Amino acid sequence: MNDTKIDAPQESILSAFQSSGVSRRAFLRFCAGLAVSAPAGLALTQNASAQTVAERIGSARRPSVIWLEFADCTGCTESLLHASEPAIAEVLFDIVSLDYHETLMAGAGRQAEAALERAIQSNRGNYVLVVEGAIPSGATSGYARTASRDALETVRAVAQDAAFVVAIGSCASWGGVASAAPNPSGAIPASQAIAGKTVINLPGCPPHPSILLSVLLEHAAMHRLPVLDGAGRPRFAYDRLIHEDCPRRGHFDAGRFATAFGDDAHRNGWCLYKLGCKGPQTHASCSTRHFNGLPNTWPVGIGAPCIGCTEQDVAFRIPLFQLVDIHAATPAEALPPIAEPAHRSQTAAAIAIGGMAGAAGTAAWFAARRLPGTKARTVEEETEELEALSLREAREEDTDAADTERR
Ligand code: SF4
């Protein structure tokens, strides 16, 4: 293998943004989105204004990321690339130094192996290893061999010098579909394959891209990792049940259920519990972080019951249409109206929110609903405040320059 070194990513995130031509407005908008979509649970955003978040992110060094893929469908990478609001695919390459990603890189064979080795050597001890997919570990399997190494050997070798490991998606976190019985390849999660390193689980099929970015930025800007729950998931994104913030919850509490796909109740947005929805047992933020920047774009939002992919013992373990036990019977504090079909009220809210700020605005809206007496700020409000501040600073600089000239 070639051990030629490449420069460690010393460039700040803000200068990477500027040199790639991303506008200051886009950067501020991204920071404002982060501030409202993860208002608590991260040191980066906790009690911080969007301006503070922007300063912290802008001055941070870009983290080096090595991304390995094993037994999976590439859905997590796809989700990251297709995210549109905030424009994560655009900002991803400015925020992180993605030094190795098998699916996205142009190189192959020895060239790719040399690139992996260079990425390890250049940031030894500092890079973040992102693992996508389960690790086939069958002793005689021969599954997932690359460059004459099996998956277990590869992931252990690369994890050895990582700062920490992120298991992205349900396959890397729990084994996912690859580990479903009878599990012929002996697929195991990253946390079982790797010893002696912190493994942060970001389950989801796929997880929302903003969760990964938030973890990477917490590390890059604050030099710390987010608080994790007992399953290794960041609390800021996995502390609530889908059922608690579900727009169909009002129907659940009113006993209004869809009983067949396409029936009137299903079309009218009633609760999907009787169609096997696992939301009452699933900790995830899909109901507040909608996908692709489109309000209500998430499984339950489009009429598909939650399959519980963020829970180790639910997805691929409990049959799709089997009903789950209800542990949280108390109605949520804020519920959508039940006097009209839920989808009608959601649509009105979605139009308003979509016009404002897409997914981040939606998150703020839900955050406001679940914290009585608080009003979440929208991305627009945060961005406007930041721009006003930039304008003031620019005027002050002009005045100073004019004064200096006069003197
Ligand atoms: Fe929403 Fe599913 Fe709970 Fe019904 S059972 S309220 S669809 S999460």
- CA–centroid distance, 361 to ligand 1, in Å, is 22
Residue 178, domain extent: 13-236
For residue 271 and ligand 1, the question of a CB distance below 6 A is answered with yes
pLDDT at 347: 35
| 192 and 254, same domain (yes or no) | no
pLDDT tens digits along 120-135:
999 999 999 999 999 9
Kindly write down the DSSP assignment for every residue of 193-246, as one continuous string. H--SS-EEEE-SSSPPHHHHHHHHHHHHHHSS---B-TTS-BHHHHSSBGGGS-
Residue 33 is assigned to a structural domain of this protein: yes
Tokens at 365, concatenated? 């809206």
Closest Cα to atom 3 of ligand 1: 243
| 137 and 222, same domain (yes or no) | yes
pLDDT at 193: 96
pLDDT at 215: 93
- CA–centroid distance, 259 to ligand 1, in Å, is 13
Residue 367 is assigned to a structural domain of this protein: yes
- What's the rounded Cα separation, in Å, for the pair 202 and 8? 26
Residue 391 is assigned to a structural domain of this protein: no
CATH code, domain with 34: 3.40.50.700
Whether the CB-CB separation of 226 and 215 falls below 8 Å is answered with yes
| 270 and 207, same domain (yes or no) | no
User: Which of 181, 208, 236 is the last residue before a domain boundary?
Assistant: 236
**Does the N-terminal peptide bond of residue 136 adopt cis geometry, omega within 30 degrees of 0?**
no
Kindly write down the DSSP assignment for every residue of 298-323, as one continuous string. STGGGTPPP--TTSTTTTTTS-TTPP
Q: Give the number of other Cβ atoms within 10 Å of residue 19's Cβ.
A: 10
Please report the atom of ligand 1 found closest to the CA of residue 246: 1
Ranges in the chain, pLDDT < 50: 1-8, 86, 339-340, 342-376
| 92 and 188, same domain (yes or no) | yes
Please report the atom of ligand 1 found closest to the CA of residue 241: 8
Residue 372 is assigned to a structural domain of this protein: yes
- What's the rounded Cα separation, in Å, for the pair 353 and 194? 42
| 369 and 223, same domain (yes or no) | no
Q: Could you tell me if residue 316 is left (phi over 0), alpha (psi between -120 and 50 degrees) or otherwise beta?
A: left
For residue 248 and ligand 1, the question of a CB distance below 6 A is answered with yes
Whether the CB-CB separation of 141 and 179 falls below 8 Å is answered with no
In the sheet where 128-132 sits, what is the strand order?
Answer: 97-101, 64-69, 128-132, 164-168, 199-202
- CA–centroid distance, 342 to ligand 1, in Å, is 12
| 261 and 144, same domain (yes or no) | no
pLDDT at 383: 58
What's the number of domains the chain is made of? 2
Whether the CB-CB separation of 166 and 76 falls below 8 Å is answered with no
User: Does residue 263 sit in helix, strand or coil?
Assistant: coil
CATH code, domain with 371: 4.10.480.10
- CA–centroid distance, 241 to ligand 1, in Å, is 10
- CA–centroid distance, 248 to ligand 1, in Å, is 6
Query: CA of 298: how far to CAs of 114, 167, 268, 324, 407, in Å?
Result: 39, 21, 17, 20, 61
For residue 272 and ligand 1, the question of a CB distance below 6 A is answered with yes
pLDDT at 338: 53
Residue 331 is assigned to a structural domain of this protein: yes
Which of the 8 DSSP states describes residue 127?
P
| 222 and 272, same domain (yes or no) | no
Please report the atom of ligand 1 found closest to the CA of residue 251: 6
Substitution candidate for ligand 1 out of 259, 273, 274 with most atoms within 8 A of CB: 273
| 63 and 163, same domain (yes or no) | yes
For residue 243 and ligand 1, the question of a CB distance below 6 A is answered with yes
Tokens at 327, concatenated? 């542990």
User: Which of 210, 236, 262 is the last residue before a domain boundary?
Assistant: 236
Residue 371 is assigned to a structural domain of this protein: yes
Beta bridge partners of 130: 67, 166
Q: Which long-range contacts (CB under 8 A, 24 or more apart) does 380-383 make?
A: 380/356, 382/31, 382/32, 382/35, 382/36, 382/49, 382/50, 383/25, 383/28, 383/29, 383/32, 383/50
User: Which of 219, 236, 253 is the last residue before a domain boundary?
Assistant: 236
Query: CA of 263: how far to CAs of 248, 269, 299, 304, in Å?
Result: 16, 10, 17, 13
For residue 286 and ligand 1, the question of a CB distance below 6 A is answered with no
Buried b (16+ CB within 10 A) or exposed e, 270-286: bbbbbbbbbbbbbbbbb
Residue 402 is assigned to a structural domain of this protein: no
Residues 6+ apart with CB under 8 A from 176: 72, 133, 134, 169, 170, 187, 205, 309, 315, 316
Residue 268 is assigned to a structural domain of this protein: yes
| 90 and 230, same domain (yes or no) | yes
pLDDT at 362: 40
| 284 and 205, same domain (yes or no) | no
- CA–centroid distance, 6 to ligand 1, in Å, is 50
| 204 and 257, same domain (yes or no) | no
For residue 246 and ligand 1, the question of a CB distance below 6 A is answered with yes
For residue 242 and ligand 1, the question of a CB distance below 6 A is answered with yes
For residue 249 and ligand 1, the question of a CB distance below 6 A is answered with yes
Which strand (E) or helix (H) includes residue 188? Answer: strand 187-188
Residue 44, amino acid: L
| 272 and 174, same domain (yes or no) | no
Please report the atom of ligand 1 found closest to the CA of residue 271: 4
